[in-house]
Amino acid sequence: MSASLAVIEKDLRLLWRHRSGWLSAATFAAITVLTYSFAFDLVTDDVRPLLPGVLWVTFLFAGTIACSRTFTDEVEQGTFDALLLAPVPRTALYVGKVIANLVALLAIEVAVLVMGTILFNTTLVTAELLVIVGVGTVGYVCLTTLLATLGSRVRSREVLLPVLALPLLVPLLIAGVRATGVALDVSAPSAPWLLLLAVFAIWSAVGSALLFPLVVER
């Protein structure tokens, strides 16, 4: 147990020391929101129908960028092989990476929500929205982190990861956009979207944690 905690602590420390990685993802998120406001002319009277889509596409794109480098440094430095030899459960290696990515992405998303609140004159930092975004983030970070293990092996990973991840994340995107729309009062609650988000988060967390040891085994 203490070994697992040590791994998680190591990943959080790496997250802090390698600020450039997720700060560039944060910058990318900010620029994506700005690009959307130019492309869709979000300065119209009522931007709110467009906001859920803008927010979630930004989250997913920033997420794949932030997650794509999850294992790169470990593999380049050769520490990943050492970690695999260490008497730590493989699942702990995965959980450490997921927690680090989660912390980074939640920070980015809160920043985007604050930025959206200012730019679009709509209150986006509400408890309901934070719950929706949080649950959705757990769902996509768990899956994308698992898929990013390929990143350590292939040169064209930056392109490959979104190509692999985004089709699988379609339910999450739909549910996230709809739930956000309901929270912003722009669409009717047509289905239990938050429940779908939660189901997706649970299955991607459990499934990925079970499958991760099989992927990294040498």
Partner 1 sequence: MLRNTLLAVYGARWTVLPPLVGISMLAMLIGAVVVAPREVVEGEVQRLFYIHAPSAIAMYLAGGVVFFASLAVLWTRDLRFDALARAAATVGALFTAIVLATGAIWGRPIWGVYWAWDARLTGTLILFLIYSGYLLARSLADETDEQAARYAAVLAIIGALDFPIIHMSVDWWRTLHPQPIVARGALPTPMLLVFFVGLVAISLLAVWLIALRAEAEGLATRVSGLRAAADRREGE
Pick the binder of partner 1 from 14, 88, 199, 202 (CB under 8 A). Answer: 199
DSSP the chain: -HHHHHHHHHHHHHHHHTHHHHHHHHHHHHHHHHHHHHHTTTTSS--TTTHHHHHHHHHHHHHHHHHHTTTHHHHHHTHHHHHHHSSS-HHHHHHHHHHHHHHHHHHHHHHHHHHHHHHH-S----HHHHHHHHHHHHHHHHHHHHHGGGGGT-TTHHHHHHHHHHHHTHHHHHHHHHHHHHHTTSS---S-HHHHHHHHHHHHHHHHHHHHHHHH--
d(CA 194, CA 130): 12
Rounded least distance, CB 211 to partner 1, Å: 5
Rounded least distance, CB 90 to partner 1, Å: 13
Tell me the window of 11-19, 67-75, 119-127, 167-175 that interacts with partner 1 (CB under 8 A): 167-175
d(CA 46, CA 182): 15
Residue 214 binds partner 1, judged by CB under 8 A:
yes
Binding mask 120-159 for partner 1 (x = CB under 8 A): -----------------------x--xx-xx--xx-x---
Residue 84 binds partner 1, judged by CB under 8 A:
no
Tell me the window of 1-9, 78-86, 116-124, 164-172 that interacts with partner 1 (CB under 8 A): 164-172
Pick the binder of partner 1 from 171, 180, 182, 185 (CB under 8 A). Answer: 171
Residue 211 binds partner 1, judged by CB under 8 A:
yes
Residue 185 binds partner 1, judged by CB under 8 A:
no
Residues in the site for partner 1, rule: CB under 8 A? 143, 146-147, 149-150, 153-154, 156, 160, 163-164, 167-168, 170-171, 174-175, 178, 187-188, 190-191, 193, 196, 199-200, 203, 207-208, 211, 214-215, 217-218
